[in-house]
Structure 1
Amino acid sequence: TPDPGMDFNAIYEAPKDGELFDYPDTAYGVMSWWDYGHYIEFFGHRMPNANPFQAGVGGRRVSIEEENQPGAASFFTAQSEEEGNAVLEAIDPRPDKAGARYIMSDARMATDIFGAMPAWTLDTEGYYQTIWTGRGYETIPSTRYFNSMEARLHIFDGDGLKHYRMVHETEPYPIRPDEVWYKQVYNLVFGGNIPVIHTGYVKIFEYVKGANITGTASPNETVKISATILTGQGRTFEYTQSTTADSQGRYEFTVPYSTEGPIEGETQFDTAPVGPYVVSYGNTTKEVRVSEEAVLNGEEIKV
């Protein structure tokens, strides 16, 4: 990842009461659960948004009536990409900056310690449900769990998200309860069709503006875009989006992956599309290549 412009070994003067620290424009945070904040700082020499001092967790402390403060708890339990984006933007007081550029997740965050995240928001209902399996009642993750940003990122690899791209994953390291069980539940109970396999134990995503792909099809026609993503572990998965053209046939996608590889001074990712995006509607298919500059700067690409 790029140099954040902060010397790990330096001692910085604290700002006066009521003032904010003057971070350089190159500075950024790394969003993860608070358990891992010291690892990110000590081993990675990067600034975590939350740490084991439990700073940056966000959420609520006394009552569900309180405002859900921005932080790790409110980000990972957010029920939509837009809600998650708003949390990242709110963490940094500068209007043109997000509080985190990278999001780190591991398999435990998506499984056995996930329950701690809604607990910090005091809004714990509905993430799990009880069903009859024929062998007795069993508690399984629910729709609210699968809609959370943590599940969208770790279980679904960020599929369909507009501003989050996987940039690295480690090798799998199965734990109990493992992600395979969660994926089996999603497929069997919620009608999903995701591969039931172990994937990277740790996954790193980057929050980007995304390139805007625009074009025209028939009015009100369904338009799809897809790309096959190859990780540094040799695993492939499909990234897809779908939209409906407007009454004049115009459509737009915001996509987070570059098809042309990394550029100097920015993220040196090892996870990327194996080829161009494919836009399809009716009997038409079109290939679209996207530069890294377009992804980072939010540029438009006309098809």
Structure 2
Amino acid sequence: MKRARLYGRATLVYAVAVALRLRNVRGVLVGNRVLFGFDDPYYHLRRVFLTLQHFPQVPAFDYYLNFPRGAVITWPPGFDLLVSAVCWIVGLGHPAPHRIEATAALLIPFLGGMTAVVVLLLGEEILGRGRWEALAAAGLFAFLPAQQAISTVGRLDHHVLEMTIFGTVVLFFLRGLRDDPGSRFSFWGGLALALGTYCWTGSFLYGGFLTLFALAQMVLDRLHGRSESSAGRSALRVLFWGTLLLVPLVLITPGPAKTSFTYVILSWYQPALLAVATFLVPALSEAIFAAGRRRAALRVSGGVLAAGGLMAAAVWILVRGSGGLQFLTRRDPLWKLIVELTPAWRLPPGQLVYYFSPLLYAAPVAGLLLARTVIRDRFHDTRLNALLALFLFTAAMGIQEARFLNYFAVPYCITLLWALRRGIEALTRRLQARPLRFSVTAAAALLCLIPLRPLLRDSVHSLPGNLDVTLARLYPTLEWMRDRTPRTSYYLEPASKPEYGVLADFTFGHWITTIGERPNFCNPFGIGPWHSKAVTESAGMFLAEAEEPLLHTLDKNEIRYVLLYNTENAISDYAFLINRPAADYLAREPVTGRVIPTPRFFRTFGVRLAFADGSEYTAAGETVPALKGFRLVHESPETRPRRVPGLEGSMQASYVKVFERVKGAVLEGKTDPGAPVQLRVEVTSNTGRTFAYRSRRTAGPDGSFRFTVPYATEAFGDVTAAPALLEAPRCHAEVALGESEVVAGALHPVRCR
């Protein structure tokens, strides 16, 4: 009967949590599109498609990442294999592309709802079976945006599983404290730890939490005169099973896992650290509890020596598996630009309160009350000790990186409801009349519900879709790229190299690969050194001022298209990535304090394409020469008015532009020595906008001149151009150029009239 009631509570919590996370379904499943949003979900989606193409093999390398070198995928295969298996089952072994996308998007709320059930079980394990505050904590967690933010429809990312796994590890560790016949609970805790690491390599941190907590509990038990702690035994068993079960997972992981020792990918690094933690617990336990036993001095010395050796091994593993101390202590500029690595204190004002409701202001009080209770109890209740440790551990993780704030939501909810229960008990302890006790309890509950009123009111409304403004503006252009540019080969064969790649801001990389179905030069993966190298190289390209070295770099990397969106506003970030002062490009006026572009800003490759379409233009009192190797092939119809200090007047600019790298037809002719020669090509874009591509030269001592023209006098893509017009003394010519001449870089002699 008790088990049936528990199942009923768990089902209720799960149903509410899933329903709340399905509220954005209309903004994700739109017609024949599935709009996932954000960046990592799109590469998870691509990996799901690749896995289903080669089921059940999950790819470990992809040429469509960091083209032309390709890249090892840093994510372990577990999460993508799980999603692929569900899609395979739903599609009866042959799922259609749209069914794959819809299934993958809809699966996430059902995975996210599991965390609310873990909160319920963890709350009942810590606070007591059948306690109303455990159910209320799970209900509060289900409503909080902190975890909904990573578990709504379309948030296809392994983050949705992380706290479910962490909570499960802690749950079975605590169950093992009470009674663990045959290591039954410890086995399931170890299995959760191994599977968590198979989905996210950072899950070995959960083993680190267990180790540190068990060691601290053993020290506290010894200081307060208690016998050997069960925390050490339970942690040892969970860590043992976690290490043992992770070994075969490393062996079956495709790619370099079996021959690698690095934290960047799933390798022998993670089992090695867990193994050290497994042996460290009994070694220190031997030293801590040696007093009063036979041969106590020998036990202490042996334990200390063993622990010292294991700690030295752990340091060696950390250094060896992380590329050395220099790598461990480095400050990679890229990490400061990745949104999910943002510290909590850099979030927009009010974001934390939105995530956790106004009850967040009560969290420090509840935490202090919990700490006071634990200390007054002389750390006797291991479960409350674990709740306090989890509260502090996850808070520290969330402060350091905002993406871990959903971790903190678990102990936050349990601690708040525990504090509420304690407060109600303190108020009603001296009240004899039942109606009075009921009134006080109801008043206290109402007092807690008042701050939740906006959250509860919003919960009955639909959530918006996942597309942010950037992706919403890029999406049609990416679909154009998929349908209208030459298709690259081996899209579903990631081990084979395609023909060309696309250069864009690194944050667009996964969208280019999954929506545009083209190889990206750089992408938001930041943990692998090979990924950050490509990001740094791309920043150098966008800031390039000399065209010839840039063309050499692009051709060496087989880049054919350049996609631009908001490039001019990313110049300071690019400078930061390659350790250049932002003041070289953006200066602050001493009087007004206004930031204005410098002449160097207007000479950068990205700005020349964004503002002038590669044509010659005048900015900040300088004439910036034309780019000869790029032509506009597409721009978005959505435009915005731009008025930039340093440019005359205002302009109506498209949000998104795509340029093609071409060799350009070479025009050669003769006029008077030293005479100025002008080139003009009238271009009409796909939106109907007309602009002139201009370039100027000065004839040589013999009167010869030479232009490279990137535009053909025929339609290319959705853009058309008029014949090239040359004007010079004794030379006026209109030259029609064929597409083959522009692509091949053919020489086209000009006879002047």
Same fold (TM over 0.5): yes
Contact 2:634 2:719 (C-alpha < 8 Å) held by counterparts: yes
Number of the residue aligned with 1:18: none
Q: CA deviation at 1:196?
A: 1.8
For 1:37 and 1:236, the matched residues in 2 are separated by 30
Instruction: State yes or no: 1:88 paired with 2:545.
Output: no
Q: CA deviation at 1:59?
A: 7.7
Contact 1:59 1:120 (C-alpha < 8 Å) held by counterparts: no
For 1:233 and 1:251, the matched residues in 2 are separated by 34
**C-alpha deviations, 1:18-37, integer Å up to 9, x for none?**
xxxx635xx10000010000
Contact 1:230 1:236 (C-alpha < 8 Å) held by counterparts: yes
SS at match of 2:502: strand
Number of the residue aligned with 1:5: 489
Question: Partner amino acid for 2:674?
Answer: N
Number of the residue aligned with 1:186: 646
Contact 1:30 1:103 (C-alpha < 8 Å) held by counterparts: yes
Q: CA deviation at 1:261?
A: 2.4
> Once superposed, what is the RMSD of the aligned Cα atoms?
2.0
For 1:282 and 1:164, the matched residues in 2 are separated by 28
Contact 1:76 1:84 (C-alpha < 8 Å) held by counterparts: no
Question: Partner amino acid for 1:42?
Answer: T
Q: CA deviation at 1:85?
A: 1.5
Contact 1:74 1:87 (C-alpha < 8 Å) held by counterparts: no
For 1:217 and 1:253, the matched residues in 2 are separated by 13
Structure of higher CA gyration radius: 2
Instruction: State yes or no: 1:217 paired with 2:676.
Output: no
Number of the residue aligned with 2:588: 130
Number of the residue aligned with 1:161: 627
Distance 1:139 1:248, change over 3 A: same
Distance 1:290 1:56, change over 3 A: farther
Number of the residue aligned with 2:720: 272
Q: CA deviation at 1:51?
A: 0.6
Task: Return 287-296 or 46-55, whichever deviates more.
Answer: 46-55
Q: CA deviation at 1:9?
A: 2.3
For 1:56 and 1:286, the matched residues in 2 are separated by 49
Task: Return 279-288 or 229-238, whichever deviates more.
Answer: 279-288
For 2:533 and 2:667, the matched residues in 1 are separated by 35
Number of aligned residues: 252
Alignment of 1:1-303 (within 5 A): 1-6=485-490, 8-12=491-495, 23=497, 27-54=499-526, 58=533, 71-90=537-556, 92=557, 99-106=558-565, 108-111=566-569, 113-124=570-581, 125-131=583-589, 136-159=592-615, 160-174=626-640, 180-182=642-644, 185-187=645-647, 193=648, 196-262=650-716, 269-273=717-721, 275-282=722-729, 284-303=731-750
**C-alpha deviations, 1:204-262, integer Å up to 9, x for none?**
00011110001110111111110111111111111011111111111110010111223
SS at match of 2:692: strand
Structure 1: 5+ residue runs without aligned partners?
A: 13-21, 61-68, 93-98, 188-192, 263-268
| Higher RCO structure, 1 or 2 (CA under 8 Å, sep 6+) | 1
SS at match of 1:152: helix
**C-alpha deviations, 1:40-83, integer Å up to 9, x for none?**
001011001001114555489xxxxxxxx6x2111101112223
Q: CA deviation at 1:39?
A: 0.6
For 1:130 and 1:114, the matched residues in 2 are separated by 15
Select the structure that is richer in helix: 2
SS at match of 1:251: strand
SS at match of 1:280: strand
For 2:680 and 2:531, the matched residues in 1 are separated by 35
Distance 1:10 1:152, change over 3 A: same
Distance 1:131 1:252, change over 3 A: same
For 2:659 and 2:504, the matched residues in 1 are separated by 11
For 1:4 and 1:295, the matched residues in 2 are separated by 21
Question: Partner amino acid for 2:525?
Answer: F
Contact 1:58 1:120 (C-alpha < 8 Å) held by counterparts: no
Q: CA deviation at 1:11?
A: 4.3
For 1:73 and 1:58, the matched residues in 2 are separated by 10
Question: Partner amino acid for 1:51?
Answer: N
Question: What TM-score results when the alignment is normalised by the length of structure 2?
Answer: 0.32
SS at match of 2:654: coil
Contact 1:230 1:272 (C-alpha < 8 Å) held by counterparts: yes
Contact 2:525 2:532 (C-alpha < 8 Å) held by counterparts: no
Q: CA deviation at 1:296?
A: 0.6
Which runs of at least 4 in structure 1 moved beyond 3 Å after TM superposition?
54-60
Number of the residue aligned with 2:300: none
Number of the residue aligned with 2:297: none
Distance 1:84 1:56, change over 3 A: farther
Question: Partner amino acid for 2:747?
Answer: E
